[in-house]
């Protein structure tokens, strides 16, 4: 009993059938693996100090994620739902532990939430605002309160010097 070759039209249809994207029903296992690999976002063990702007950012992020979750649930995108839920858990934890901190307006030493102008030995000036970890953005001049720079600056006043990463800076303004 010999094997006969399939007609060319059947071969073509089989090739086309196997080259089509798989139905979502057949990718549930792939989704499960992807969901398992998402993992949790690490939450800092440091105090979660935030500025008023930082608190608004957390709340805005939570609202955005809730909107995304609604959309992802409607389209049944399991990986997207899992990722959004993971991020929502992170931001909910950050909101629950947030400690709003506003510096005293007449303080003449560096505190959380203040903006500090530094001058290097070469005369170059840098301006940094000390903010919460989730607010930090070096490109925008915002440094986390747990960074080595912020820790070196806390309690310093105009005219005092700090050395960070081998470079010495003088505090020239505190706002």
**pLDDT (tens digit, 9 = 90+) per residue, 69-122?**
999 999 999 999 999 999 999 999 999 999 999 998 889 999 999 999 999 999
- How many whole angstroms from its chain centre is CA 58? 10
User: What's residue 55's pLDDT?
Assistant: 98
Among the residue ranges 8-12, 48-52, 105-109, 117-121, the one predicted with the least confidence is: 8-12
User: What's residue 17's pLDDT?
Assistant: 47
pLDDT of 29 > 50? The answer is yes
Average pLDDT value for the chain: 87
Please report where in the chains the tokens 């005293």 appear, as a residue: 104
User: What's residue 33's pLDDT?
Assistant: 74
User: What's residue 9's pLDDT?
Assistant: 55
pLDDT of 151 > 50? The answer is yes
pLDDT of 18 > 50? The answer is no
Closest CA to 149 of 172, 166, 134: 166
User: How many CB atoms are located within 10 Å of the residue 103 CB?
Assistant: 17
User: What's residue 32's pLDDT?
Assistant: 75
Closest CA to 85 of 35, 146, 143, 137: 35
User: What's residue 8's pLDDT?
Assistant: 54
User: What's residue 129's pLDDT?
Assistant: 98
Contact 51, 115 (CB under 8 A): no
User: What's residue 3's pLDDT?
Assistant: 45
User: What's residue 34's pLDDT?
Assistant: 73
What residues have CB less than 8 Å from 71, skipping those under 6 apart? none
């Amino acid at each position: 009993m010999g094997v006969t070759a399939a007609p060319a039209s059947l071969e073509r249809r089989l090739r086309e059938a196997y080259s089509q994207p798989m139905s979502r029903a057949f990718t549930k296992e792939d989704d499960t693996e992807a969901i398992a690999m998402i993992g949790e976002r690490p939450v800092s063990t440091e105090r979660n100090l935030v500025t008023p702007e930082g608190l608004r950012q957390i709340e805005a992020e939570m609202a955005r994620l809730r909107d995304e979750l609604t959309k992802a649930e409607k389209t049944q995108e399991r990986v997207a739902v899992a990722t959004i839920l993971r991020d929502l858990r992170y931001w909910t934890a950050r909101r629950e532990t947030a400690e709003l901190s506003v510096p005293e307006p007449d303080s003449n030493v560096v505190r959380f939430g203040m903006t500090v102008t530094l001058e290097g030995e070469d005369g170059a000036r840098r301006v940094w605002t000390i903010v919460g970890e989730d607010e930090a953005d070096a490109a925008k001049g915002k440094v986390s309160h747990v960074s080595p720079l912020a820790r070196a600056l806390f309690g310093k006043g105009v005219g005092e010097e700090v050395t960070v990463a081998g470079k010495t800076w003088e505090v020239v303004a505190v706002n």
